Amino acid sequence: MDALRTPEDRFTDLPEFPYEPRYVEVDDGDGGRLRVAVLVEGPDDGETVLLMHGEPSWSFLYRRMIPVLTAAGLRVVVPDLVGFGRSDKPTELTDYTYARHVGWLRQALLDELQLTDLTLVCQDWGGLLGLRLVAEHPDRFARVVVANTGLPTGDHPMSEAFLAWQRAAAGMTDMQVGRIISNGTATDMAPEVVAAYDAPFPDARYKAGARVFPSLVPTSPDDPAAAANRAAWGVLRTWEKPFLTAFSDSDPITGGGDAVFQKLVPGAQGMPHTTLAGGGHFLQEDVGPQLAQVVVDLVAATPRSGT
What is the residue type of 63?
R
What is the residue type of 137?
H
Rg (Cα) of the chain, in Å, rounded? 18
> Under the phi-then-psi rule, with left for phi > 0, alpha for psi from -120 to 50, and beta for the rest, what region is 198?
alpha
Active site (annotated) includes residue 28: no
Helix (H) and strand (E) counts in the chain: 10, 10
How far apart are the C-alpha atoms of 118 and 135, rounded to whole Å?
Answer: 13
Most distant CA atoms of the chain, gap in Å: 51
Catalytic residue among 28, 88, 95, 124: 124
How far apart are the C-alpha atoms of 15 and 194, rounded to whole Å?
Answer: 10
How far apart are the C-alpha atoms of 177 and 161, rounded to whole Å?
Answer: 18
165-174 LR contacts (CB < 8 Å, sep 24+) = 165/214, 165/253, 166/214, 166/215, 166/217, 166/219, 169/211, 169/213, 169/214, 169/215, 170/214, 170/215, 172/211, 173/204, 173/211, 174/203, 174/204, 174/207
How far apart are the C-alpha atoms of 265 and 259, rounded to whole Å?
Answer: 10
Active site (annotated) includes residue 124: yes
Catalytic residue among 80, 251, 258, 286: 251
Report in angstroms the alpha-carbon separations of 275 from 99, 210, 272.
Answer: 31, 28, 10
How far apart are the C-alpha atoms of 2 and 139, rounded to whole Å?
Answer: 35
Active site (annotated) includes residue 53: no
Point out the residues that are catalytic: 124, 251, 281
